[in-house]
Amino acid sequence: MGIRRLNHAVLYIRDVERSVDFYTNVLGFRVVHKVPGAAFLQAAESGNDHDLGLFEVGAQAGASPAGRGSVGLYHLAWSVPTLTDLAEHARRLREAGALVGASDHITTKALYAQDPDGLEFEVSWLVPLERVTLQMRSEVAIKPLDIDAEIAPWGPELVGMS
């Protein structure tokens, strides 16, 4: 009785049109279904019916207190195929003013960003499992991410773990 993968996530957001614009134009999702106050989006290379449900709760909604004195979800993480894709996401997130951090976790190269409602998410590239060494598995570190420096040893088109 194993879990295979995350099928979709649902977010409560202030303005469905603003969020649809962000997730489609910045992250490349596409709208698969829309009703007043809600939208269902699919990631570009996904086989899911939808990956993200957005439910509008209105402009008066306060920020999520999760992690600041309240339990709750910290972030969602989406993976991209190559480091070239990760670099492109970094550019797009930076241009949108959404990029808040970038970390090298040895086997995971991660960008951290926030959507228009301040909900954090991660876009990452994972070293292919067959390339992960015992040393890499035992090393616990969070270093600043330099995508160009990572492309040198891994290459621009090496497909990471999905």
Q: Please give the domain boundaries of the chain with CATH numbers for all domains.
A: 1-59 (3.10.180.10), 74-162 (3.30.720.110)
When pLDDT is cut at 50, 70 and 90, the band that residue 121 belongs to is very high
Count other Cβ atoms within 10 Å, centred on residue 80.
24
Confidence of residue 117 (pLDDT cuts 50, 70, 90): very high
β-sheet bridge partners, residue 99:
113
Can you tell me the distance from the alpha carbon of 49 to that of 64, in angstroms, rounded to the nearest whole number?
A: 27
Rg over CA atoms, the chain: 17
User: pLDDT at position 162, please?
Assistant: 75
pTM of the model: 0.93
No. of helices (H) and no. of strands (E), the chain: 4, 9
Contacts 24+ apart (CB under 8 A), 57-64: 57/12, 57/13, 57/14, 58/14, 59/14, 59/15, 61/12, 61/14, 61/117, 63/117, 63/118, 64/118, 64/119
Instruction: Evaluate if residue 1 carries a pLDDT over 90.
Output: no
Q: Average pLDDT for residues 95-109, to the nearest whole number?
A: 97
What is the side-by-side order of every strand in the sheet holding 38-42? Answer: 9-13, 52-56, 38-42, 30-35
| pLDDT at 32 exceeding the cut of 80 | yes
Q: Is the pLDDT of residue 140 over 90?
A: no
